Amino acid sequence: MRFPIIFGLFLLSIYSSGFAAGKQNCTDLNGRFSIHSSDRNDVAFIDPAFIDASKLFKLNLINVTSGELEIRGDAPHGLYFFLKTERDGVLPISMPTSANSEWTFNRDYKCEDGWVIFSQRAPARRYDLLKRYEGDAKIRIARDDLYEGLKIESTFSGHEVVTIFSYDSANISVPKWWSRKTLRDTVLLATAPADSSKQVTQLESQAALDVRRMFSDKLLGGVILAGVADREGVVTVTLKALRSSDIKPFEERLRVASISYQMKTEPIWTNNSYFMELLVKTKP
């Protein structure tokens, strides 16, 4: 009976060492990466790799002309992706237009040679002159230390499709199964300038600005800062969470950071998110 036990422990040690090694291959991806385009010519908006990644991360690019891709989290455990867009020429602080649930290490992605490789594939298209190819794409991302940015690589695999019937908005297409094509595209998003996340406005009080700085990305974690309003030294902070499990750890981080607050509105589930309000006192 001892041999099966010893053999089982041997297999467990191999699995554990492999799991730990996989985590060691994860690099820090936290940061903000610019997709700014004043004239819509920025390669990020037309590059297939960026388009494929936006589909995988469920980022809504409709009517987006400038902004940032923000990554939060810890690659050896879990990652969050946000798309932050400009409004009236000012980039809101921690107000993403879209965010997905947490992507979890070893379930949704793995780490290999500095790359984060996602297991789920994104629906994708490619065009070659008058030919259209449909299929899916494998996405992986990594830090590019040489050019200081985020590298996104998409490997497309699919078939040419031909339209056999078209009338008004109705189209029927079929794949040519003998026309399989594999293509690889890469795009580099530059690291966003350090001052691009500052709210440039004279209408916000110093107390509100101070609270915004207190609610850093590390403090927020999976919680999203949706608004800050000053009422004579007592600041109301509106927060949004996609999962209830993100709320308790966030409150624990508030206590560890010695931030004095009062829960004005308990978490309420609406529009596929939990909303809550805190009162943060900035004056003694």
Q: Walk me through the domains of the chain, giving residue ranges and CATH numbers.
A: 31-190 (no CATH), 206-281 (3.30.1360)
In this prediction the pTM is 0.59
Residue 14's pLDDT band, with cuts at 50, 70 and 90, is very low
145 CB burial (10 A radius; 0-12, 13-18, 19+):
exposed
Give the integer Cα–Cα distance in Å for 67 and 37. 8
pLDDT on residue 65: 61
Residue 199's pLDDT band, with cuts at 50, 70 and 90, is very low
Kindly give the pairing relationship between strand 98-99 and strand 78-85: antiparallel
pLDDT on residue 233: 65
CB-CB contact of 66 with 13 (8 Å):
no
pLDDT on residue 215: 86
Does the pLDDT of residue 22 top 70, yes or no? no
Mean pLDDT for the stretch of residues 195-207: 55
Does the pLDDT of residue 8 top 60, yes or no? no
Give the integer Cα–Cα distance in Å for 144 and 98. 25
| 203 or 132, higher pLDDT | 132
Which contacts (CB < 8 Å, 24+ apart) does range 75-79 have? 75/26, 75/27, 75/28, 75/29, 75/105, 75/111, 75/116, 76/23, 76/24, 76/26, 76/105, 76/111, 77/104, 77/105, 78/102, 78/103, 78/104, 78/105, 79/29, 79/103, 79/109, 79/116
Mean pLDDT for the stretch of residues 182-203: 71
Which residues have C-beta within 8 Å of that of residue 4, sequence separation ≥ 6? none
Residue 122's pLDDT band, with cuts at 50, 70 and 90, is very high
The overall average pLDDT reported for the chain is 76
Residue 206's pLDDT band, with cuts at 50, 70 and 90, is confident
